[in-house]
Amino acid sequence: MKKTLKYSLIRFIPYARREEFVNIGVVGQCVQTGELAFVLNDVRKTKRVHAFFPTLKGKELFKDVLRLAEDELLRVQEFMPQSNNKQALFNEVVKPKDGLLQYSTVRVKFLADGQTIQQALETLNQDLVNFESENYKSQNHDAELARNFKTTVLAARQLDKVYKEKRLEQKEFGVKATLPFYENEHLTSIKPLSFAGYDQANKVTEHALNWIAHLNGLMGAQLLEPQKHLIVYEESAKPELKTALNFALNQFERLEVSVANSQDTQTIGRFLEQVES
């Protein structure tokens, strides 16, 4: 007979009136045995929470809530074998309540043969809590492409200390953008842009158009010259997105900025010679 798992997502709700939350873990109980287990996010990983709640000051509040959740669930887990009504105890833990820590509606799933409830909760946590959305993955890909570009291309030419992150802003126009690579003497800049994290054509186009809007603003405010800016892009592995990618690249070329595939060492090299010469 397959075992049944009841589970509830653990939620962090810093602004209860807005009813906005971020999932931070999952708790579950085996219906047949009453065993309780849980999985919580790493207390050191606060980036995702602050991406959801950018106005949340500091990191201590979220860490305190995580510690509170862990302490509470460990006490229940320790007491559970002694309880005469294990199901009622689990229901008491996840019942609706006020506070920064709340629980979702209880859901039910069957455990796979030989699967422990801890293993099942780890899988649920990965799927429902620590999943990487398409936008989140794209940001990671951009950052990874930038790191690789710095440590390989720029470092090989001893330009990794020359090109630095730079925030350009014209407050009166409401124009601002942060360039990952900018050098002050020649005013050249480079933006690595990865399309590897996308599965849909419209997402490829949106990602490109977002940066095109930044470039338009910077150029209009005379903070950036098109001939001195380079887009280094990374393609999607999906052939069906090639048309969308070409469309996006054409929009950059219409701005008269330089565009190069991350593997195109010749074009990238010619652009970097502006600084080296």
What b/e sequence results for 8-44 when a residue is b if at least 16 CB atoms lie within 10 Å of its CB, and e otherwise?
bbbbbbbeeeeeebbbbbbbbbbbeeebbbbbbbeee
Supply the range of the domain harboring residue 243: 134-276
pTM: 0.55
Q: Kindly state whether residues 78 and 171 are assigned to the same domain.
A: no
**Helix (H) / strand (E) containing 206:** helix 201-220
Q: Kindly state whether residues 13 and 103 are assigned to the same domain.
A: yes
CB neighbourhood size of 249 (10 A): 18
pLDDT of residue 94: 94
Which of 108, 128, 148 is the last residue in one of the domains?
128
CA distances from 6 to 23, 58, 92 (A): 17, 34, 13
pLDDT of residue 197: 77
Taking the C-alpha atoms of residue 176 and residue 217, their distance in angstroms, rounded to an integer, is: 8
pLDDT tens digits for the chain (277 residues)? 789 999 999 999 888 777 788 889 999 999 999 999 999 987 776 666 777 777 777 668 888 888 999 999 999 999 999 999 999 999 999 998 888 899 999 999 999 888 899 999 998 988 888 765 455 555 578 888 998 999 999 999 999 999 999 999 999 999 999 999 999 999 999 999 999 878 889 989 999 999 999 999 999 999 999 999 999 999 987 889 999 999 999 999 999 999 999 999 999 999 999 877 6
pLDDT of residue 132: 55
Q: Kindly state whether residues 264 and 159 are assigned to the same domain.
A: yes
Q: Kindly state whether residues 252 and 185 are assigned to the same domain.
A: yes
Q: Count of domains in the chain? A: 2
Which of 128, 144, 166 is the last residue in one of the domains?
128
Q: Kindly state whether residues 42 and 88 are assigned to the same domain.
A: yes
Taking the C-alpha atoms of residue 258 and residue 253, their distance in angstroms, rounded to an integer, is: 7
Which of 107, 128, 149 is the last residue in one of the domains?
128
Q: Kindly state whether residues 150 and 68 are assigned to the same domain.
A: no
User: What are the φ and ψ backbone dihedral angles of 91, each rounded to 5 degrees?
Assistant: -60, -35
Q: pLDDT tens-digit profile of 134-168?
A: 555 555 788 889 989 999 999 999 999 999 999 99
Q: Kindly state whether residues 145 and 123 are assigned to the same domain.
A: no
With CA atoms as reference, report the closest residue to 228 among 218, 243, 240. 218
Q: Kindly state whether residues 194 and 267 are assigned to the same domain.
A: yes
Q: Kindly state whether residues 114 and 161 are assigned to the same domain.
A: no
Q: Kindly state whether residues 94 and 154 are assigned to the same domain.
A: no
